[in-house]
Amino acid sequence: MLATFATFPIGKGESVSSDVARVIKIIRESGISYQLTPMATIIEGEWDDVMDVIKRCHHVLKENSDRVYTTITIDDRKGHDEMMKTKIESLKEKLGEV
């Protein structure tokens, strides 16, 4: 499954990049496939693995913040792997870029 999620602490000022860096470190250390974007992170794997990573990311921010905001969007398609790669390849093919 693919999940796009964003998580950040509330009430810590305009810049939360140091907090977000802690989240990215958890994702990297998990070994799960991911793609960082300016507004969210896409992760790919089995349901339990993906949800565990998101939960750990949310909780690490709660260690130093009274309020954490997390959004999650899930694409759970049976029988499909490497969706981050194949969805982009399919689009490029339709655009004549392959």
Predicted TM-score of the model (pTM): 0.85
Task: Provide the pLDDT confidence category of residue 86 given band limits of 50, 70 and 90.
Answer: confident
Is pLDDT of 98 > 90? Answer: no
Task: Provide the pLDDT confidence category of residue 13 given band limits of 50, 70 and 90.
Answer: confident
CATH numeric code, 2-94 = 3.30.70.930
- Taking CA atoms, 67 is separated from 9, 10, 55, in Å, by 6, 5, 14
- pLDDT, residue 41, reads 96
Q: What is the pLDDT of residues 16-69, one digit of tens each?
A: 889 989 999 999 999 999 999 999 999 999 999 999 999 999 999 999 999 999
What are the sequence ranges of the domains in the chain?
2-94
